[in-house]
A and B are shown apart, each in its own frame.
Chain A
């Protein structure tokens, strides 16, 4: 691994200053994606800015029909949070099925959404639940946050500080995982909210996406059979050693039906 300097700020402002003063700076949250990438020399930052000492990025709170989760909150903390379990149990279960126990102990919500791995689980939660990403300078709706393969709307020196999830009427997440990594080959979050039904798919393509035809069918009747006959195009989907694009397209329907059934 290439050598680098470390910075240990205790506030978001200090972290921004460290990032701006760095040659090629990277933020280190839980490190569960960044460290493996650095071990392969696929990322060679000159400076790592650790977010571990910033208290403002911690904590989970319920307020006004929303659950706000700090960017540095681990997957294990989301899984075990009574606030999350009470308001959005689907989110607690999603967090509890990320990777494995040790990845969940270190990996963070903010790190996952900023990394935007195409097979990560959280992008489906953010888009499926209609969440808002809070950064050091603005709020970004989930629909415009994930812009492509490992691409987000974040600018170079922007830091995710929290994610605010509106509490849905009901929601569920169904995942067909890679049996070794537990990454989603296809994962589908379905949510019935005051603003309508949302269906968000991760793992299948370069970035999380919604399925409008499923959303309108479920708005007319929120039951698994409502999705019968709705085909998802495989044109933009991944095909690899895990699953062909056609199989992934098929799995989107299967996982969506399972998620709707789990909502009942």
Chain B
């Protein structure tokens, strides 16, 4: 199959690339752009390790074709905070560190980006809202309690 041209804004920069029609967004990000902070856990749109923001909404990048991001702004964990060595974390990232919202860290990029989507819509979510929202993000280490605290603390700063 011939490739197709794709132009999107990726982590603040305009990117043009040629992709196969059947290239999944997660494969374009990891293999095409070297953005390996987006993880593949289940590859069946259940675990949420591959969550990124596309067009301002959190999506599972294993269940979206790369071509569907044409013209959209896509943000991965690498682009959430300005890429400055020693620079400041995004408030949600800082909240996860402060509240020990991670252990192994595998689910964390997806958790953080999902949480950013939540607090943009509901800046001060209650615990039930956070737990309902995170149904699509699975963590096998923490038991979620500290993740919920982190998301609540990271609210209001989620721009």
B2 to chain A, nearest CB (A): 8
Chain B: interface residue count, which band?
20 to 34
* Residues in chain B near residue A38, CB distance under 8 A: 22
| Chain B residue at smallest Cβ distance from A46 | B1
Select the stretch in B40-48, B79-87, B97-105, B144-152 that faces chain A: B40-48
Cα-based distance from A36 to B60 in the complex (angstroms) = 12
Contact of A76 among B4, B51, B57, B136 (CB under 8 A): B57
**Interfacial residues of chain A within 1-50, with CB under 8 A of chain B in the complex:** 1-6, 28, 31-32, 35-36, 38-39, 48, 50
Q: Chain B: interface secondary structure?
A: mixed
B21 touches A6 (CB 8 A): yes
B132 to chain A, nearest CB (A): 8
Cα-based distance from A231 to B137 in the complex (angstroms) = 38
B22 touches A4 (CB 8 A): yes
Q: Mark B13-38, 1 if CB is under 8 A from A, else 0.
A: 00000001110100000000000000
* Residues in chain B near residue A115, CB distance under 8 A: none
Cα-based distance from A28 to B21 in the complex (angstroms) = 12
Cα-based distance from A156 to B120 in the complex (angstroms) = 41
* Residues in chain B near residue A5, CB distance under 8 A: 1, 21
Would you mind naming 20 contact pairs between A and B with Cβ atoms under 8 Å apart? A4-B1, A4-B21, A4-B22, A5-B21, A6-B4, A6-B67, A31-B63, A32-B45, A35-B24, A35-B45, A36-B44, A100-B135, A100-B136, A101-B114, A101-B117, A102-B45, A102-B51, A105-B117, A180-B46, A182-B135
Give 4 nearest A-B pairs by CB, closest first. Answer: A100-B136, A3-B1, A105-B57, A100-B135
List the interface of chain A (C-beta within 8 A of B).
1-6, 28, 31-32, 35-36, 38-39, 48, 50, 52, 76, 80, 99-103, 105-106, 180-182
List the interface of chain B (C-beta within 8 A of A).
1, 4, 20-22, 24, 43-46, 48, 51, 57-60, 63-65, 67-68, 114, 117-118, 121, 133-137
